[in-house]
Amino acid sequence: MISDLFRRTRPRRRVVPKLRRLLRSRVRARAWLALAPALLLALPAQAGIVFTPHLSEYSRLPRAPFVEGTLIMTQIEEIYDREGNEVPLGEPFVKAGDSTDAALFLFKYLWIGNLFRDSDVPILKTRDQFCRMIGVLGYQQNTGRIAARTRLFGIRPGSNGLGDLFGLCGIYGHEHQWGPLKFNGLLATTIKFPIGDYDQDAALNIGTNYWSYIPQFAFHAEAFGRLYVDGTFAYQFNGDNDEPSFGGLTPTRISNWRNLEINFAWKFSEHWFADIGYSFRESVGRNGYDKLTVNFEDQPLAPESACNNTNNNLGVEVLTPEVCRNPVTQQFYLSPKPGPYEDRGIEGHMLTAGIYYVYRTSSVLQLRVAQPIRGRGSQIDAEYYVCAIEPCNEQTSGGVTTPTTLFGVQEAAAVSASPYLELRFVHLWWAP
Amino acid sequence: MRNPRGGVALLLAVAALLPVGAAQAQSQDSPLPSFGRYKPLYPGQYLHLAYTQTDGDEYFDAEGERRDGALPTYGPSALPREDLRAELSWHFPLFETYALPFISSRMWRARVQLGYARTEAEGAVADFARDESDDEATFADDLATEGSGLTDLRLALGTYLFGAPSSGWREGRSGPASLLAELALTVNTGEYERNTPVNAGHNTPAVHALLGLHWSPWAGGFIDAGLRYGAYIKNQDPTFGAQAPAQVGDTLSWDVSLAQRLWPGAYLSIYGQGFDRESNRYENPRFAPNPPTPPPGSDAIPAPGNYRDDGVERRSIGAGFDVFLSQRLTLGLHYTRPISGRSGQFDLDYNFRVPEGCFTDAVGCTLLPAGSVPVDGLEAGRALAADRISLSLRFHFLERDTFDCVGCSS
């Protein structure tokens, strides 16, 4: 019985010549093969949320050490494409409803003092300095069908662990007062040390694997003792990432960013505050992708792979079932052109709102919601060779290729359109 | 000069300290049973470091029998683990000047817990992970053996339902008995390699509720008993081919200890602890070490679906000795011996796929039932039976109000 089935099974090699004939026609090949590689998901990760300003973030605080713990949680169900449209995560290749779940825990240590107060060093002797270290623990995980889908490419669907380390130092300006308004500025530079966990075979990473240098100007103002305004402009120089993850869907040449953020807080009492803020970031130029390798792990592929990635769950019949299940076209191979490719850059606009409770002048508890309002994510138009034999490359494909549009992933490329929740606790460890 | 009563209170406070996370991933719901762990402490901040080691070379099987090894379906294996865990905790009154009902009148406790675990599978399961011969044909590829790294982050906040009024906290006053209620959140930021049989982290957030009773029935004697309930969010990426649960069963764990002062500064304790975990759910396991042998021209593939074990449980007993090296520093040694338990196991259905490697939806590709094979539940599905030994160091620092109030009147 079983052996009968074996005998009835047609040897695969008979399929190949027929497939070759089929592939001779680029038009016909593209008609259905193009759908196969275009299955890669947009997987955003932690956004530029480490520096989002809070109440009195840039005010001249007392000389003391401060510690801060911030827990950020999000469930990313939508992202922005390169046209600025909100796209359900995973679509069109899996049905909407799954997500990328992420949690970040930021531990910040801030020191404020003046190392030069007893010296004659100009400028510094009269202005306090500050340094801050930010450590990150993170969790990012694709869920459900999205996670299952990443495994088709031999990719791990998530990651956990230690993030990059941020270190910054700066100097406060003098405080000025004009009537009911008082304000100060500051200058700082942040370095992002790429020490975080990073796995090239992961769809999501806690670490970024590239350096960043971020000079920053910021200010703090108070009016009438009620309105608190904190704002910053930062320019982020990003290094290259020669080891992109997720098969090269993280950019290798990361564009620099402009960051602009402002936050307005209102003091209701000594203990209660509320704020709203606006955050903007934009890449300066385009991200480059030079090492695209993402591909199906198990090949050759059958047409039903294409069908499963298109017809199913879409409610739209792209291919007829007869084509999908045609045993004549049993196998083909795909291989990506590694690049170079470029996206159109990214952009993100976000509103934040939160409440604060100040407890006994030494602790602050804050709850914040952040809602993206507009954005543009990274996408590239990649080319895949289509072959009937292995290895699949330009020669064996006979020049047959199929285009596909791929989303860039991780913080340098993907822009979340879903809100996040932030729970923050600031504690003055020792009283000044 | 400190008054004697304050000194005693401080001594007890340092001694009591806080339950530190458990030694093994499987028993994270059970704390290290330090004596006085549920006692309301003198205000201040506390650091508790604990090192725990287990060979992971014994287990309780699904029928409750103690056996050598760790994963019987793989063959002789071990899952050794070393944990170094740090816990920072605060005891404080909250909103004490506001006279808020329930909140202002009692003491509170907050904890942050983080650690590092070194763990690597050994023996037959490690050999299986390193074997690349079946990588092409199965999903058992890219497997690894080491899951060391940072453990999950745990945040907890609790209050004393009785026995620790906020009115006397500055003097360290508390009654002979107290009851702590605590909620905790596990944030799964720990290392999780997804392709290893052991991991430092768990990849699943969890919430925990705890009731902890402390009673000092006589001078120098301490009884502590805890009951905690843990509920877990779905693990979206269970490790090692999904042989770990996708949905860990709700877990009820308990611990009870009796400690007695032998001489000033030295305490001997005996304790028992255990947990009962409801049935774990395993989702679409992708391989097993013992698949049925396929006939020529076919291969064996697991049938996707949800599988369940019959629950996991373990009971342990142990003894501890704590000694004060100074007024603020305590050294503790604990030895724990699991005495009974039960691991999770499920029967994974298999199909023969004909012809070998065909696409299951394609015309001519046939699936034939191939029976089932037993699979050992990993991680939360295991009840290891190996002894554990723990060395802990506890330090009380910043003896003062946790929340400074510069310029406050109270």
Q: Which residue has the higher pLDDT, B347 or A298?
A: B347
Largest CA distance in chain A: 96
Task: Using CB atoms within 10 Å of the CB of residue B1, give its burial: 0 to 12 exposed, 13 to 18 middle, 19+ buried.
Answer: exposed
A432 C-beta neighbours (distance < 10 Å), count: 12
Tell me the average pLDDT of chain B: 85
CA distance A257 to A284: 5
Q: What is the pLDDT of residue A32?
A: 33
Residue A324's H or E segment, with its range, is helix A321-324
Q: Which residue has the higher pLDDT, B297 or A374?
A: A374
Cβ contact, residue pair A71, B195, below 8 Å: no
Enumerate residues 6+ apart whose C-beta is below 8 A from B187. Answer: A71, A103, A105, A137, A139, B152, B153, B154, B155, B205
Q: Which of B150, B187, B296 sits opposite A103 (nearest CB)?
A: B187
Q: pLDDT tens digit string along A338-368?
A: 879 999 999 999 999 999 988 877 788 889 9
CA distance B70 to B59: 5
Chain B residue with Cα closest to A148: B237
B115 C-beta neighbours (distance < 10 Å), count: 22
Q: What is the pLDDT of residue A341?
A: 93
Of B198, B172, B169, nearest in space to B56 by CA: B198
Q: Which of A76-85, A253-262, A324-333, B168-177 has the lowest mean pLDDT?
A: A324-333
Q: Which residue has the higher pLDDT, A365 or A400?
A: A365
Q: pLDDT tens digit string along B78-104?
A: 999 999 999 988 888 887 777 888 888
Q: What is the pLDDT of residue A182?
A: 93
Of B337, B265, B257, nearest in space to B58 by CA: B337
CA distance B79 to B94: 43
The verdict on B192 touching A (C-beta cutoff 8 Å) is yes
Residue A386's H or E segment, with its range, is strand A379-387
Phi, psi of A151 (to 5 degrees): -70, -20
Q: Per-residue confidence at A270, pLDDT binned at 50, 70, 90?
A: confident
Cβ contact, residue pair A158, B368, below 8 Å: no
Q: What is the pLDDT of residue A49?
A: 54
Task: Using CB atoms within 10 Å of the CB of residue B409, give its burial: 0 to 12 exposed, 13 to 18 middle, 19+ buried.
Answer: exposed
Which residues in chain A are contacts of B191 at CB distance < 8 A? 160-161, 197
Q: Does residue A29 have a pLDDT over 90?
A: no
Q: Does residue A88 have a pLDDT over 50?
A: yes
CA distance A112 to A129: 6
The verdict on B292 touching A (C-beta cutoff 8 Å) is no
Q: What is the pLDDT of residue B11?
A: 34
The overall pTM is greater than 0.90 = no
Q: Is the dihedral of CA B171, B172, B177, B179 positive or negative?
A: positive
Q: What is the pLDDT of residue A318?
A: 44
In order of their start, the domains of chain B are 4-397 (2.40.160.40)
Q: What is the pLDDT of residue A386?
A: 79
Q: What is the pLDDT of residue A326?
A: 55
CATH number of A12-428: 2.40.160.40
CA distance B354 to A8: 10
CA distance A370 to A348: 12
Q: Per-residue confidence at A22, pLDDT binned at 50, 70, 90?
A: very low
The verdict on B172 touching A (C-beta cutoff 8 Å) is no
Q: Does residue A19 have a pLDDT over 50?
A: no
The verdict on A165 touching B (C-beta cutoff 8 Å) is no
Q: What is the pLDDT of residue A16?
A: 37
Residue B6's H or E segment, with its range, is helix B4-16
Give the DSSP letter of residue B67: E
Q: Does residue A316 have a pLDDT over 50?
A: no
Q: Which of A72-86, A182-196, A395-409, B18-32 has the lowest mean pLDDT?
A: B18-32
User: Distance from CA of residue A239 to its chain's centroid?
Assistant: 16
Q: pLDDT tens digit string along A137-161?
A: 988 888 888 888 888 888 888 888 8
Q: What is the pLDDT of residue A265?
A: 93
Cβ contact, residue pair B189, A161, below 8 Å: yes
Q: What is the pLDDT of residue A235?
A: 92
Q: What is the pLDDT of residue A36?
A: 34
Find residues 203-242 of chain A whose CB sits inside 8 Å of chain B.
none
Residue listed under structure tokens 């006939």: B295
Q: How far is B280 from chain A (nearest CA, A)?
A: 18
Q: Which of B95, B192, B359 sits opposite A160 (nearest CB)?
A: B192
CB B283 within 8 A of CB B303: no
Q: How far is B389 from chain A (nearest CA, A)?
A: 27
CA distances from B246 to A147, A300, A365, B9 (A): 13, 31, 34, 46
What size, in residues, is chain A?
432
Q: Per-residue confidence at A321, pLDDT binned at 50, 70, 90?
A: low
Q: What is the pLDDT of residue A284?
A: 93
Q: How far is B291 from chain A (nearest CA, A)?
A: 18
Tell me the average pLDDT of chain A: 79
Q: Which amino acid does the sequence have at A95? A: K
Q: Which of B189, B298, B405 sits opposite A360 (nearest CB)?
A: B405
**pLDDT per residue rounded down to tens, chain B (410 residues):** 333 333 333 333 333 333 333 334 334 455 678 888 898 887 778 899 999 999 999 999 999 999 999 899 999 999 999 999 999 888 888 877 778 888 888 889 999 999 999 999 999 999 988 887 766 666 767 788 888 999 999 999 999 998 888 787 767 667 789 999 999 999 888 989 888 999 999 898 999 999 999 999 998 899 999 999 999 999 988 999 899 999 999 999 999 999 999 999 899 999 999 999 999 999 999 888 888 998 888 888 899 999 999 999 999 999 999 999 988 889 999 999 999 999 999 999 999 988 887 777 666 788 899 999 999 999 999 999 999 999 999 888 766 666 666 656 54
The verdict on B297 touching A (C-beta cutoff 8 Å) is yes
CA distance B410 to B403: 11
Q: Which amino acid does the sequence have at A62? A: P
Mean pLDDT confidence for A113-130:
89
Q: What is the pLDDT of residue B249?
A: 95
Q: What is the ipTM of this complex?
A: 0.76
CA distance A84 to A75: 20
Of A219, A233, A124, A127, nearest in space to A181 by CA: A219
The verdict on B201 touching A (C-beta cutoff 8 Å) is yes
Q: What is the pLDDT of residue A43?
A: 33
Mean pLDDT confidence for A91-117:
84
A317 C-beta neighbours (distance < 10 Å), count: 11
Tell which of B194, B293, B368 to mutate to test the A interface (max A CBs under 10 Å): B194
Q: What is the pLDDT of residue A130?
A: 92
Mean pLDDT confidence for A373-378:
93
Q: Which of A59-63, A255-259, B278-282, B380-384 has the lowest mean pLDDT?
A: A59-63
Of A314, A337, A344, nearest in space to A402 by CA: A337
Q: Per-residue confidence at A28, pLDDT binned at 50, 70, 90?
A: very low
